[in-house]
Structure 1
Amino acid sequence: MKIGILLENPIQVGGGFNQAINAIVQLQRIIGKQHEVVAFTTIKANLQHLKRLGVPAKYLPAAGRLSRIALAVLRRSIRKEIGKAWMANKIENALLKAGMDLGYFVTHSSTPNYFRKLNYVTTVLDLCHRDDLEFPEVSSDGRFEERERHFSTCLPRAVAVLVASHQLLRRIVVRYGVDEERMIAMPFEPSPFLSEAHSIDRTAVLAKYGLRDGYYFYPAQFWPHKNHIRILEAISSLKQKTANSDIRVVFSGGNSGNLAWIKQQAQRLGVSDNVTFLGFVPVDHMRALYEGALAVVMSTYFGPTNLPPLEAWAVGRPLIYSAHLNEQVGDAALFADADDAEQWADAMLRIRDPAVAVDLIEKGRKQLKAIDTERLEAETQFVHRLEQFAQRRKCWE
């Protein structure tokens, strides 16, 4: 059997890209000897990132060859059904021509919604348009309705649906009526680029950004739901509580439309001098930025799972996390209400106690091992599902 893995996101999306890369490496590891696994990407720059991890990949131009006029028309209609269907048809035909028996989408993708022949496995990272529908990135400009159409169309037709937690699995079963036996709860794992082999020395990285050890680190894109404002409010409170003007928070991540607002709020709260905005940083800088942190803070509303907690534990840094997302992390974090800046300030003050930090680091290591065990069980389940499909695929030409 030949399985084509589709990577359609650029590296700038952050955690979603890293998890997609993990999924590609994982599939080649768990089933690559029994079946042929071929990685495809619609983004040419991804080829070099996959190559660094020893993953050969093929570039799959989404549009193929088009006249200038046809391309202009398509760009104007890209958000319309006709544009999406046209793109998906091109991708499906390319996979079929390459002899693929099964497609595997490792990120949220509407492409399989329009497949006519090829069976597929898909991935769901969250249902936050339902869980936190107040946020514009999942509700405005038709995004809520678009997501609903996608999940209602894509999930029931999938050979398998991979999700990051049992909590998300249960929500999908209830909301979209997907057969539970077709779903697999596959936990996240830290970015493959976080290893020492793919990282630059901490001293050099911190010097590049003008940083010293001992900051609070929040790696996240600037979306409203990432809740950077709560960290700014907490820093403002900490400055008043401790009379310490040297408190520093470091934000890394690309601008997804909310950066100007956060900078404006930092100015209003009088904490601009306490905040370093790094923007999107190279993947080989991330380990050093984690290592230099006093603690990792993540005040996000979206879940139920996220990548930075696992990466904090992998590097050995203590974590402060949104309380409503506690299922992923067990007791391996200090928790604060995502709505309450004072709770964040108190947790950020408490984690300065070396005994508290050391205890959290040790609990993080244990939690990471428990998640590794859970992932191994999920991999066995995934292999079984793929082998089941392989036997059924023999029934037709």
Structure 2
Amino acid sequence: MKIGILLENPIQVGGGFNQAINAIVQLQRIIGKQHKVVAFTTIKANLQHLKRLGVPAEYLPAAGRASRIALAVLRRLFHKEIGKAWMARKIENALLKADMDLAYFVTHSSTPNYFRKLNYVTTVLDACHRDDLEFPEVSSDGRFEERERHFWTCLPRAVAVIVASHQLLKRIVVRYGIDEERMIAMPFEPSPFLSEAHSIDRTAVLGNYGLRDGYYFYPAQFWPHKNHTRILEAVSLLKHKLAVGADIRVVFSGADHGNVAWIKQQARQLGVSDNVTFLGFVPVDHMRALYEGALAVVMSTYFGPTNLPPLEAWALGRPLIYSAHLNEQIGEAALLADADDAAQWADAMLRIRDPAVAVDLIEKGRKQLKVVDAERLEAEALFACRLEQFVQRRKCWK
């Protein structure tokens, strides 16, 4: 069997991109000896990132410059959905021409909604447009309706649906009536770029950003749901709790999705601008050093039920403070704080300055990471069995 893996997101999407890369490497590892696995990307720049990890890939020009121009014309003349369908058919035809038997979408993608011939596996990382529908990134400008159409159209036709947790699996079964036996809860794993082979010396990286060890690190793109506001409010409270002159620093890294100006305005109003460093989107080679230089990793996000930074904090031996309502992923390996309560975040950030508390959390993080690794191995075996079942059925037609 020949399986085509589709990577349609650029590296700037952050955690979603890293998880997609992990999924490509994972599939090659678990079935690459029995079947041919071919990686395709619609973004030419992704080829270099895949090559660094030893993953050969092919560029699908269906989403290249000319196609984007054509898509813009189609959107103006007809409707957004017509443009999407046109693009998807080009991708499907390219995969069929390459004799692929199955397509595997490793990120959230509407492309398979418009497939007419090729079977596919799809991925769902969250259903937060239903969990936290107040946020504009999942509710405004028709985004809620678009995601609902995608879930109702794409998921029932998938050979398998890969989700990030058992909790998310149950929600999708209840909300969309998807057969549970076609779903696989596959836990996240840390970014492959965090290995020392893909990292730069910590002293050099921190010096490049004018940082020194001992800051609170929040690696997250600037979406409203990431809740950077709560961290700023906590810093404001901490400045009054700690001795005068205490060095409190928070480092935010991540691309701007329209919310940075608002967060910076809030920092000024709270009087904490001098305590916050905005790095923007940073090279993947710098992430290991930024984690290692942190006093603690903080993640006050509303969206879940799973996220990548907790795993990366544990893998690199950093203590974690995390949103309490997402505790299922965490076990006892973090201090928990209510995403709505700045005082709880300030208290947790103060507690974690105690070396005994930090060391205990680091050890619990290592243990929790082993639990997640065991769950992933079980899920990989289930995924391999599901694919072998498809292989037998695929033999029944030309």
- TM-score class normalised by the smaller sequence: over 0.9
Q: Structure 1 stretch 69-78 or stretch 208-217: which is displaced more? A: 69-78
Is residue 52 of structure 1 aligned with residue 46 of structure 2? no
Counterpart AA for 1:4: G
Pair 128,77 (structure 1): closer, same or farther in 2 beyond 3 Å: farther
Alignment CA distance shift 1:379-1:67 (3 Å): closer
Q: Give the structure 2 partner of residue 288 of structure 1.
A: 289
Q: Does 1:279 align with 2:271?
A: no
Q: Secondary structure at the match of 1:5?
A: strand
2:361 paired with 1:360: yes
Residues 229/157 of structure 1: CA separation in 2 closer, same or farther (3 Å cut): same
Structure 1 partner of 2:148: 148
Cα 1:105–1:67 shift into 2, 3 Å:
closer
**The residue matched to 1:62 in structure 2 has which SS?**
helix
Aligned to 1:252: 253
Aligned partner of residue 61 in structure 2, secondary structure: coil
What runs of 5+ residues in structure 1 fail to find an aligned partner? none
- The 3-state SS of whatever aligns with 2:379 is helix
Asked if 2 retains the 8 angstrom alpha-carbon contact of 1:128 and 1:302, the reply is yes
Is the CA contact 1:30–1:379 (under 8 Å) kept in the aligned structure 2?
A: yes
Equivalent position SS for 1:27: helix
Give the 3 Å change call, closer, same or farther, for CA 63–316 of structure 1 in structure 2: closer
SS at match of 2:152: helix
CA contact (8 A) 2:43 2:63 kept: no
Q: Which amino acid aligns with 2:342?
A: A
Q: Report the residue type matching 2:254 in the other structure.
A: G
Partners of 2:39 and 2:372 in 1: how far apart? 26
Q: Secondary structure at the match of 2:248?
A: coil
| Structure 2 equivalent of residue 4 of structure 1 | 4
* TM-score normalised by L of structure 2: 0.98
Give the structure-1-normalised TM-score: 0.98
Give how far 1:78 is off: 9.2
Note closer, same or farther for the CA distance 1:293–1:43 as it changes in structure 2 (3 Å cut): same
Q: Is 2:383 aligned against 1:385? A: no
Q: Which residue of the partner structure matches residue 336 of structure 1?
A: 337
Q: Secondary structure at the match of 2:62?
A: coil
**Where does 1:1-397 land on structure 2 (aligned, <5 Å)?**
1-63=1-63, 70=70, 72-74=72-74, 76=76, 80-245=80-245, 246-397=247-398
- Report deviation, 1:21: 0.2
8 Å CA contact 1:160–1:184 kept in 2: the answer is yes
Change in 2 beyond 3 A, CA 1:351/1:91: same
RMSD: 1.4
User: Conserved in 2, the CA contact under 8 Å of 1:202 and 1:289?
Assistant: yes
Instruction: Report how far residue 192 of structure 1 moved.
Output: 0.2
Distance 1:28 1:128, change over 3 A: same
Deviation of 1:76 (Å): 3.5
Please report how far the alpha carbon of residue 74 of structure 1 lies from its aligned counterpart in structure 2 after TM superposition: 2.9
Q: Aligned equivalents of 1:79 and 1:133: distance in 2?
A: 25
Deviation (angstroms), 1:65: 8.9
Taking the aligned partners of 1:283 and 1:27, their CA distance within structure 2 comes to 22
SS at match of 1:184: strand
Report Cα offsets for 1:13-59 as digits up to 9, x if no partner.
00000000000000000000000000000000000000000000000
CA offset at residue 145 of structure 1? Answer: 0.3
Give, in angstroms, the shift of residue 67 of structure 1. 8.8
CA contact (8 A) 1:209 1:278 kept: yes
1:113, 1:150 within 8 Å by CA — same for their partners in 2?
A: yes
Shift of the alpha carbon at 1:137?
0.1
Q: Could you tell me how far apart the structure 2 residues matched to 1:235 and 1:74 are?
A: 48
SS at match of 2:116: coil
The letter of the residue matching 1:166 is: H
Structure 1 vs Structure 2: percent identity of aligned residues? 89
1:64, 1:90 within 8 Å by CA — same for their partners in 2? no
Q: 1:68 to 1:176 in 2, by over 3 A?
A: closer
Question: CA, structure 1 residues 244+75, in 2 after alignment: closer, same or farther (shift >3 Å)?
Answer: farther
2-structure distance, mates of 1:77, 1:165: 41
**How far did residue 317 of structure 1 move?**
0.1
For the 8 Å contact 2:71–2:87, the answer to whether it is kept is: no
- The 1-side partners of 2:332 and 2:64 are apart by 50
Return closer, same or farther for 1:38/1:212 CA change in 2, 3 Å cut-off: same
1: CA distance between counterparts of 2:77 and 2:147? 18
SS in structure 2 of the partner of residue 104 of structure 1: strand
Q: Structure 1 residues 65, 50: closer, same or farther in 2, change over 3 A?
A: closer
More deviation in 72-81 or 110-119?
A: 72-81
CA–CA separation in structure 2 for the residues paired with 1:297 and 1:291: 13
Distance 1:121 1:64 in 2: 24
Q: CA deviation at 1:62?
A: 2.2
Q: Distance in 1 between matches of 2:166 and 2:151?
A: 17
Aligned residue type for 2:368: Q
Runs in 1 of length 4+ with deviation above 6 angstroms? none
Contact 2:7/2:105 (CA < 8 Å) preserved in 1?
yes
- One-letter amino acid matched to 1:222: F
1:194-226 deviation digits (Å, cap 9, x = unpaired): 001110010000000000100000000000000
> For 1:384, what is the secondary structure of its paired residue?
helix
Aligned residues: 397
